Amino acid sequence: MDEIWIWRRMEHPNLLPFIGGALIEPPYFAVSPYCAHGNVLQYISRHKDVDRLQLIIDITRGVDYLHSSHVVHGDLKARNVLINDQGTALVADFGLSRLHSLSSARSGVAGGPEGTMHWLAPELLKAEHVNPTVETDVWAFAMTLYELYTDGQIPFVDIADRPSLHRHLTAGHRPARLTNVALTGADLAWGLMQRCWLLSAKERPTFSWILTALTLLRPVFQTPDVEMLIQSPSQFRKMGWADSIFAQWPQGISALTNLLR
């Protein structure tokens, strides 16, 4: 019920729209537009040449809006991203969305860790009474990126219980590096994943940071000399938009180099 009210007040081009529903007395339900393309995994399976990086930017914009509205999604994964008739990605399934305080590490809602196990951040796997946060959404976002660039592979799917998966992740294990680098933006996506999978939640980037990175660096991955640019970061200075990168990233060239490593 609370989740329907949250969804009702959310409005963004990259969120599944709320049309209406029954909110006064049970049975509660909500109505949204029908997305004939299905979820993003179904869409890319039928459209192999689709611009996956643009879909990722769509997802980032949607979740960034949620976080700016003090809402944590809590169950971000590829199957909870739908595609509309225009081929735009819509973040959906707000069943686990929670209001949160940006000044608090917790969402303020009692209950155990939610979401699908293999998308959960280590801090959610560790305890029974830890709630999703903006930082755990960032971890799940990286898992979602991994799905998009591996056509739906789920990392560590052979690990069947939370304690074992928690030990595996805290020991430093992460999904294998992407091999299908021919896909547009795969190297950029891999660099972002590494930052989003940092064990310390406070060190993970925000969705605002991620959106800035994707938007500013996208032109690099549309040039024929992308490999040269990755190997020689100084080449970025020759591009007209380089100054805006360094203005928004105090880390400067080292951050850019690490992102693409």
Within a domain: 42: yes
Q: How many independent structural domains does the chain possess?
A: 1
Residue range of the domain that includes 105: 38-222
Residue type, 66: L
Is the pLDDT higher at 9 or at 109?
9
Within a domain: 114: yes
Within a domain: 245: no
> What ranges in the chain are assigned the alpha helix state H?
2-8, 40-46, 52-68, 122-126, 134-149, 162-170, 186-196, 207-217, 226-231, 242-248, 253-260
Write b or e for each residue in 52-80: b if 16 or more Cβ atoms lie within 10 A of its Cβ, otherwise e: bbbbbbbbbbbbbbbbebebbbbbbbbbb
pTM for the model: 0.79
The yes-or-no verdict on residue 49 having pLDDT over 60 is yes
Q: In whole angstroms, how large is the CA radius of gyration of the chain?
A: 19
pLDDT at 133: 94
Give backbone dihedrals phi and psi of 83, rounded to 5 degrees, phi first.
-120, 125
Mean pLDDT of the chain: 79
- Of the pLDDT bands very low, low, confident and very high (cuts 50, 70, 90), residue 60 is very high
The yes-or-no verdict on residue 33 having pLDDT over 60 is yes
pLDDT at 115: 54
Tell me, what CATH number does 100's domain have?
Answer: 1.10.510.10
Task: For residue 56, give both structure tokens.
Answer: 């990722």
Within a domain: 258: no
